[in-house]
Amino acid sequence: MRVWIASLFLLGTGCAMTQPITKWWAPIEKEHHLKIIRESLSRPSDQFSLHLIPVENGYVLKGHRLSLHDTYFLATMDGITGAVDILYEFENLPDGTLKIKTAQGAPRYAATLPHIEHEKVLVGKPIDYVLVRKKDVTSAVATFFPYRLQTEGQHGESLFLTVTHPMLTRFALEAKGFEPGEAVLLTHRSGDKKETKTLTADAQGEIATPLNPTLLGKLGGQATLTLTGMKGSVQIEYPWGGQLENQTFKKYRAFPMVFVTRLPQTSETHSYALSLL
């Protein structure tokens, strides 16, 4: 417990908290490592994994089954643009310590890698955390939604919207809780524009479709989506464009994260450690 808290406190006072490690590299080296990250996304690892664990004051990113003495990258990827920032380059040691590359050349040793998520935060937007093993260019991904656009119906139905366009004008709908093969009526309203269509739930009772709430001459607004099936309806009102940005600003806060390969014994330790950020 003391090692966990002390390590996090020491790392939390350094520049790694506010700057991606790529800012320390020469352009050629940086581009080479970014290429490794991007290539790894099509090669998911079957040997190690990455899990996002919510705790009272933030989130823990837990790396599972990392091989010893191999070099890893921990990076973030923007869920809309795909832009990648490498946060840390490190080696996993047998005692749970991480050997961390630094700008000064000499490595640092710690049990935790802290990060404050704030720049990419947006309502309805995913942020991917990517853990990459350098030697075989394989990766594991954990996706974080700071603010979800979602709702649930009264009969087990649920729907979830994800922003897919940099202008915040396109969305992807995912819904579940319907019967396999069920016909679901979609009604989508944005201003004076109305769209209706019938979708068919797949074998898992799920449906998916893109949404376009944009209106000619408008930079943003509110849209309403309703799904009506055999058991009833589920509805959500959501912002798009400038209105989505405004809603983000109203809710905005930073999200503390900490990466570990070993967890402390209690969730209270997680919470106390994160409070030091």
What 3 state SS string does 235-271 have? EEEEEEEHHHHHHHHHHCCCEEEEEECCCCCCHHHHH
For 94, phi then psi, to 5°, come to -60, -30
Count structural domains, the chain. 2
> CA–CA separation, 137 vs 261, rounded Å?
19
Over the stretch 30-88, which tens digit does the pLDDT of each residue have?
888 999 999 999 999 999 999 999 988 889 999 999 999 999 999 999 999 999 999 99
Phi, psi (deg, nearest 5) at residue 197 = -160, 160
Residue 20's pLDDT is 54
SS3 22: helix
In whole angstroms, what is the distance from residue 111 CA to residue 11 CA? 10
- Say yes or no: 36 and 62 in one domain: yes
Asked if 14 and 121 sit in the same domain, the reply is yes
CATH at residue 206: 2.60.40.1930
**Interval 89-131: pLDDT, tens:** 999 999 889 999 987 778 999 999 999 998 779 999 999 999 9
134 and 31 in a single domain? The answer is yes
User: Domain range for residue 107?
Assistant: 2-146+252-275
Instruction: Give the dihedral sign, CA 38/41/45/50.
Output: positive
pLDDT tens by residue, 18-33? 455 555 555 667 888 9
